[in-house]
Amino acid sequence: MSTNQPFGPTDNAYLNGNFAPVITEEEFKDLKIEGVIPEGLNGKILVRTGPNPRFKPRDMKYYHWFDGDGMINAFYFEDGKVRYKNRYVQTKKWKFENAANRSLFGGIRSGMSTTLKGWSDLKFGWLNLLWMGFRTLIGVGPTRAQYESVATILNAANTNVMNLSGKLLAMDEIGQPYEIDREIRTIGLYNYKNKLEGPAIAHPLTDPFTGESFTMGYQPLPPYFQYYKISEKGEIEKYEPIEVPYGVMMHAFGLSENYVMFYHMPAVFDIKNVGTREPFHWMPEKGARLGVMPRDGKSDDTKWFDIPLCWVFHNMNMYEEGDWLVTDVAKYERIPLLGLDTNNPSPPLYMDPIGIMVRWRLNYKTGELKEELITDHPVEFPTMDSRFLTRKHKHGYFVMLKDADQEKGLWNTVVHRNFETNVNDEYCFGKDYYTGEAVFTPSHEGSKEGEGYLLNIVYNAQENKSRLTVFDAMNVSAGPVATVHLPRRIEYDFHGNVI
Ligand SMILES: [Fe+2]
């Protein structure tokens, strides 16, 4: 495996191998294609985003995967050919650091550590800085205004990119979305005409049957959860603060035809911890709960149900069957990757604990929860044919790790799950190949559920290069129908969509 260490020697796994950033912005036209690009992809663009620190982190030991500046990777399908391009999202942080030509701000594991230049860019005067330092010292954490200034800077737009109500948005979950154009140039912050009351998560959901979208925010100050309904035209039609007893990370939520499901799991996000080494603390004694609210309901209408201790980043979908909500989630015993103690500055790369795929059935009247195992291999990134979101799905997708060395990457197998037959149709790329989320796009307008293609960026650790694979989503085990070769690698990223 090639050693990529653009910032010099480090044993931090997130700055090594294919987690290390690719800091050049390039465009490659007419890429080499094995096989044939399906007709149905012509005119479409795969856009993805991931963390890619532009400058050497201030403290390499404490750099975390979630910190890197958002880099958009885009594949343009044009008349059977493929063009690739990558550009940074020009966030506030990126602009300040680009002007200074060095890193100014700390990340998630170094709390609010930053340089004097960084504080000055954030408009913190001496008095304000001393006041915040004192508050951190006595354990109460920053004021709301101080926290909001810092959160703006931690927002790297590195988590997801998608079309929402006619805008192409690159998102993180600590701040607000950035709008970009189809050539992936940054337009600027987008906050729904100042109607976002705080940060917004990177997994908004659109009900394709009504055109309405929904999103959430979470923060370490009340209201800890915020819920929004967005019209098809992109207007925020409803804002509802959701009352919960303390702040936690909530990376995604569930949406069915009539209900939303909130995850209140104990990765506690306490303002008192902001400014220390780690703002999120796993507190199992606080337990895990699911909240179910009618989509048009109020906070008081939410029914909260205690469930066995666990952690969930992502779900595939949620639908209703009588009094039951059915949702497939990648479930962990505790939050992975975070909640590391400060004496453990170089986190091991492998997932500890691993995520497993389960189907939950929650009775929203009684709170009874039934769990069915789908696979106990390490999994992540459940996706689906989003034209059927909120309704019963027959097909779903996720990635899995099988028979491989976890030190080099996280997943190597694409899985298509048929929920009618309960059979997995899967493809393992083999030794030295690693991939992330599989993105579905339909083969043509009006195609049946699951009739379409799965797109994956795959890294070959031997060649130190990446490729894009295209699968027939109904026959993944047959292998890719087309493979597009890049002249270099693409760093491991998080999420994306076809637009
Ligand atoms: Fe995510």
Q: What is the pLDDT of residues 261-276, one digit of tens each?
A: 999 999 999 998 887 7
- Predicted local distance difference test score (pLDDT) of residue 368: 97
What is the distance in A from the centroid of ligand 1 to the CA of 381?
7
**C-alpha gyration radius of the chain:** 22
What is the distance in A from the centroid of ligand 1 to the CA of 160?
7
pLDDT tens digit string along 53-65? Answer: 999 998 888 899 9
- Predicted local distance difference test score (pLDDT) of residue 496: 98
What is the distance in A from the centroid of ligand 1 to the CA of 203?
7
Q: What is the rounded distance in angstroms from the CA atom of residue 158 to the CA atom of residue 141? A: 26
Structure tokens at 207: 């009900």
What is the distance in A from the centroid of ligand 1 to the CA of 465?
24
The region that residue 448 occupies, defined by phi over 0 for left and psi between -120 and 50 for alpha, beta otherwise, is beta
Least confident of 234-238, 272-276, 483-487: 272-276
Residue 216 has pLDDT above 80, yes or no: yes
Residue of higher predicted confidence among 499 and 344: 499
What is the distance in A from the centroid of ligand 1 to the CA of 133?
32
DSSP 296: T
pLDDT tens digit string along 135-175? Answer: 988 989 999 999 999 898 889 999 999 999 889 999 999 99
What is the distance in A from the centroid of ligand 1 to the CA of 202?
7
What is the distance in A from the centroid of ligand 1 to the CA of 125?
36
Paired with 84 in beta bridges are: 28, 75
Range list of H helices, 23-102: 92-100
Calculate the average pLDDT of the chain: 93
How many CB atoms are closer than 10 A to CB 83?
16
- Which domains, ranges and CATH numbers included, belong to the chain? 13-498 (2.130.10)
What is the distance in A from the centroid of ligand 1 to the CA of 135?
32
pLDDT tens digit string along 95-133? Answer: 999 999 999 998 888 777 889 999 999 999 999 999 999
What is the distance in A from the centroid of ligand 1 to the CA of 440?
16
What is the distance in A from the centroid of ligand 1 to the CA of 330?
11
Structure tokens at 38: 């399906």
What is the distance in A from the centroid of ligand 1 to the CA of 496?
10
Q: Are 313 and 173 in contact (CB under 8 A)?
A: no
DSSP 335: -
Segment 226-240 mean pLDDT: 95
Shortest CA distance to 327 belongs to which of 369, 267, 264? 369
Segment 11-22 mean pLDDT: 90
Residue 406 has pLDDT above 80, yes or no: no
Which residues are annotated binding-site positions for Fe cation? 203, 251, 314, 495
What is the distance in A from the centroid of ligand 1 to the CA of 251?
6
- Predicted local distance difference test score (pLDDT) of residue 127: 94
At 432, is the secondary structure helix, strand, or coil?
Answer: coil
At 141, is the secondary structure helix, strand, or coil?
Answer: coil
DSSP string, 89-126: ---HHHHHHHHHTS--B--GGGTT-B-HHHHHHTT--H
Residue 13 confidence class, pLDDT cut points 50, 70, 90: confident
What is the distance in A from the centroid of ligand 1 to the CA of 134?
35
- Predicted local distance difference test score (pLDDT) of residue 344: 60
Residue 473 confidence class, pLDDT cut points 50, 70, 90: very high
- Predicted local distance difference test score (pLDDT) of residue 1: 44
What is the distance in A from the centroid of ligand 1 to the CA of 281?
19
Which residues are annotated binding-site positions? 203, 251, 314, 495
Segment 305-314 mean pLDDT: 97
Q: What percent of the chain has pLDDT over 70?
A: 96
What is the distance in A from the centroid of ligand 1 to the CA of 153?
20
pLDDT tens digit string along 76-101? Answer: 999 999 999 999 999 999 999 999 99
What is the distance in A from the centroid of ligand 1 to the CA of 129?
33
